[in-house]
Structure 1
Amino acid sequence: MPGPPPNPLAARRNPRVGVVVLPAEGYRGRTPKWPLPENPRLTARIRLIREELEALEERELDEDLSRTERTKLTRLRERLAIAEAERDAIVEGEKDLWKKLWRTPQACQWAKLKWDRDVAQYVRHKAAAEVGSLDDSKEARQRGHHLGLTPKGMKDLMWTIATDELAEQRGRAQLSSVATGTDGHGATVVVLAVDDDED
Structure 2
Amino acid sequence: MPRGGHAASGPPPDPNALRRRRPSDAAGWKTLPAEGRTGPLPEWPLSEPTDREWDLWGELWEKPQAVVWEEMGQALEVALFVRTLAEAERPDARVDIKKMVRGYLDSLGLSVSGMNRNRWRIAPGLDTTAEVVPLEADRLERRRPSARDRLKVVPSGEGS
- The TM-score range, normalised by the shorter chain, is 0.5 to 0.7
Q: Which residue matches 1:10?
A: 21
User: What do the CA deviations read for 1:140-165 (whole angstroms, capped 9, x no partner)?
Assistant: 1111110000000000000000001x
Partner of 1:111: 70
- Shift of the alpha carbon at 1:170? 3.5
The 5-angstrom pairing of residues 31-46 of structure 1 reads 31-38=41-48
User: Which structure carries more strand by proportion?
Assistant: 1
Report how far residue 36 of structure 1 moved. Answer: 0.8
Distance in 1, Cα, partners of 2:29 & 2:85: 28
1:157 aligns with 2:108: no
Higher helix share: 1
Quote how far apart the aligned CAs of 1:137 are.
1.5
Gaps of 5+ in 1: 39-89, 173-199
Deviates more, 1:125-134 or 1:142-151: 125-134
Q: Please, which of 140, 146, 156 is the counterpart of residue 107 of structure 2? A: 146
CA distance in 1, matches of 2:31, 2:101: 24
Q: Which residue of 2 aligns with 1:126?
A: 85
Residue type matched to 1:163 in 2? P
User: What do residues 10-66 of structure 1 show as CA deviations (whole Å, max 9, x unaligned)?
Assistant: 336xx665200000000002110110124xxxxxxxxxxxxxxxxxxxxxxxxxxxx
Q: Match for 1:97 among 37, 56, 59?
A: 56
- Write the distance in 1 (CA, Å) between the matches of 2:31 and 2:47: 33
Moved more, 132-141 or 25-34: 132-141
1:23 to 33, 36, 44: 33
State the AA in 2 paired with 1:95: W
TM-score by length of 1: 0.52
Q: From the CA coordinates, give the structure whose radius of gyration is larger.
A: 1
TM-score (norm 2): 0.64
Runs of 4+ residues deviating >6 angstroms:
none
Q: How many residues align?
A: 117
Residues 103, 138 of structure 1: alpha-carbon distance in 2 compared, 3 angstrom cutoff:
same
RMSD over aligned CA atoms reads 2.7
Q: Equivalent residue for 1:75?
A: none
Identity level (%): 37
SS of the residue 1:21 aligns to: strand
CA contact (8 A) 1:2 1:151 kept: no
Match of residue 195 from structure 1:
none
Tell me how far apart the structure 1 counterparts of residues 47 and 16 of structure 2 sit (CA, whole Å): 39
